[in-house]
Amino acid sequence: MLDYPALAALAEIIRRGSFEAAAAALNVTPSAVSQRIKGLEERMGQVLIHRGPPARGTATGLRLMQHLDQVRLLEDTLDAALRPASGPATLRLAVNADSLATWFPPAMAALPVLYDLVLDDQDHARDGLRQGQVSAAISSDPEPVPGCDVLPLGAMRYLALATPDFLARHFPGGVTEPALRAAPAVIFNHKDGLQSRWVQKATGKRLHLPGHLIPASEPFARAVELGLGWGMIPEAMAAPRLRPLLPDLPLDVPLYWHVQRAMVPALTPLTAAIRKRAAADLRP
């Protein structure tokens, strides 16, 4: 068997960012935590924690933390009489920023766990799943990850929006190629291709857009509302005063729920809640 007290120390260090905070949370001395990790690293033959500060898990360290979370979730499914008196289990999930900003949070109440959410784009979600560092992910990536089940949830609809003033100033002659090349867009981060995909749909061409980089969902929408640029906004977050750049040209982004196969039973209530929310709030 693995050394579970050592795994508990490992998880606390990774989640709290230091050996000291982990020791206090576990109510043991920092040197006891150090020894548990040192022993675990010696048995595993590899480093599990980058010492920092902040202390961070290595890929193997994150994998072991995830294993501990899974064991604790399994313990939670035992009869109450058999269940150890430890606190609630932790569930580490990757969620794309716009889902977290809109339809996802109410589904979280379906499981009595502590959530450890990883806000990330699809590449990281995929890596996290493949390396066993997250139990499940909501992502726009349709490709199944080895060892995971994938369930389509429906599509998030994005609209290309701007303020009426912005449209009058930057698109006086309509949404032309030269205007798109000059008007500032609002872009989430360098992986965000939504604006470019919409432009390709609208003009048939790949244009390279000047843009603000604003890597948070609501501030992104707010920047568009303030007239700093145009951007692709989930329909649920679209302020009524914004106007579409072109009528009737939404962009639908299908979303998927990926779950580590070993976790499928323990996550059944969450999966049901996610499907229900998605059915209500996403496009079929």
Give the distance, in angstroms, between the CA of residue 220 and the centroid of all CA atoms in the same chain: 16
Side chain identity, residue 99: S
Q: Is 122 in the site for its own copies (CB under 8 A)?
A: no
Contact 162, 256 (CB under 8 A): no
Q: Is 87 in the site for its own copies (CB under 8 A)?
A: yes
The three-state DSSP-derived secondary structure of 86-147 is CCCCEEEEEECHHHHHCCCHHHHHHCCCEEEEEECCHHHHHHHHHCCCCCEEEECCCCCCCC
Q: Is 124 in the site for its own copies (CB under 8 A)?
A: no
Q: Is 144 in the site for its own copies (CB under 8 A)?
A: no
Q: Give dist(CA 229, CA 223) in Å, integer.
A: 7
Q: Is 264 in the site for its own copies (CB under 8 A)?
A: no
Of 9-17, 145-153, 172-180, 254-262, the segment contacting its own copies by CB under 8 A is 9-17
Q: Is 15 in the site for its own copies (CB under 8 A)?
A: yes
Contact 4, 71 (CB under 8 A): yes
Of 10-18, 171-179, 258-266, 271-279, the segment contacting its own copies by CB under 8 A is 10-18
Q: Is 164 in the site for its own copies (CB under 8 A)?
A: no
Q: Figure out which of the listed residues 132, 154, 184, 234 binds its own copies, where binding follows CB under 8 A.
A: 184
Least distance (Å) between residue 17 CB and its own copies: 4
Of 31-39, 101-109, 159-167, 171-179, the segment contacting its own copies by CB under 8 A is 101-109
State the pairing for strand pair 90-95/114-119.
parallel
Positions in 23-42 near its own copies (CB under 8 A): 24-25
Closer to its own copies at the Cβ: 71 or 149? 71
Q: Is 201 in the site for its own copies (CB under 8 A)?
A: no
CA torsion 94→95→100→104, rounded to 10°?
Answer: -100
Q: Is 253 in the site for its own copies (CB under 8 A)?
A: no
Positions in 206-225 near its own copies (CB under 8 A): 206, 208, 210-219, 222-223
Q: Is 5 in the site for its own copies (CB under 8 A)?
A: no
Closer to its own copies at the Cβ: 4 or 115? 115
Q: Is 116 in the site for its own copies (CB under 8 A)?
A: yes
Give contact residues for its own copies (rule: CB under 8 A). 14-17, 21, 24-25, 54, 87-88, 97, 100-101, 105-106, 108-109, 114-119, 182, 184, 190-191, 206, 208, 210-219, 222-223, 226-228
